[in-house]
């Protein structure tokens, strides 16, 4: 049983390819211009433009702690090149430079009463590099216990037992 396959001409394939690329570009442009309408929580840009209309809304914001007070602290949130300061009403112990993610109720003009909050200490972010360096050192030691470098041949060769 012979199956016949009809091949598409080269010019038709180019046309179909260009058509699909054009559709992809149109969808990308649509997403870039309209994605804020489909967000679960309002973006920083939307809040900055009209804070009164989002009063009482549940928002999710993240940022870096820029000021610490007795019963609140300020986080600086960046969203698509828009910088905005939110005052978080919480007695949580935070320090300058910590990263904070807040889910809470927005109160105009820039206050947030948190329902849930995640604090990542600035120091713990730096500890990732320290742990990586220690791991790299251990890896190098283990590697060179089993292998040695031959400078003449510029290769690694196994050590004899």
pTM recorded for the entire structure: 0.61
Q: Render the burial of 1-14: b for 16+ CB within 10 Å, e for the rest.
A: eeeeeeeeeeeeee
Model pLDDT, residue 123: 82
Per-residue pLDDT of 49-87, as tens digits, reads: 888 999 999 999 999 999 998 899 999 988 777 888 999
Phi (first) and psi of residue 88, to 5 degrees:
-100, 120
- Domains in the chain: boundaries: 11-39, 44-120, 123-158
For the chain, list residues with pLDDT below 50: none
CATH level 3 topology of 44-120: OB fold (Dihydrolipoamide Acetyltransferase, E2P) (2.40.50)
Hey, what are 60's tokens?
A: 């999710």
Greatest Cα-to-Cα distance within the chain, rounded to the nearest angstrom? 84
Instruction: Give which of 59, 60, 65 is closest to 99, Cα–Cα.
Output: 65
Model pLDDT, residue 12: 84
Model pLDDT, residue 2: 65
CA distance 62 to 108: 17
């Amino acid at each position: 049983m012979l199956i016949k396959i009809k091949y598409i001409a080269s010019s038709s394939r180019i046309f179909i390819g260009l058509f699909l690329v054009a559709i992809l570009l149109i969808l990308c442009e649509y997403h870039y211009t309209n994605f804020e309408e489909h967000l679960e929580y309002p973006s920083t840009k939307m809040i900055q433009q009209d804070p009164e209309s989002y009063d009482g809304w549940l928002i999710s914001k993240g940022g870096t702690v820029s000021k610490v007070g007795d019963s609140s602290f300020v986080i600086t949130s960046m969203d698509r090149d828009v910088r905005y300061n939110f005052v978080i009403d919480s007695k949580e112990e935070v320090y300058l430079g910590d990263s904070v993610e807040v889910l809470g109720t927005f109160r105009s003009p820039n206050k947030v009463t948190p329902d849930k909050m995640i604090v990542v200490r600035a120091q713990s972010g730096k500890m990732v590099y320290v742990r990586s360096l220690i791991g790299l050192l251990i890896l190098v030691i283990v590697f060179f216990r089993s292998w040695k470098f031959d400078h003449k041949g510029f290769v690694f060769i196994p050590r004899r037992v």
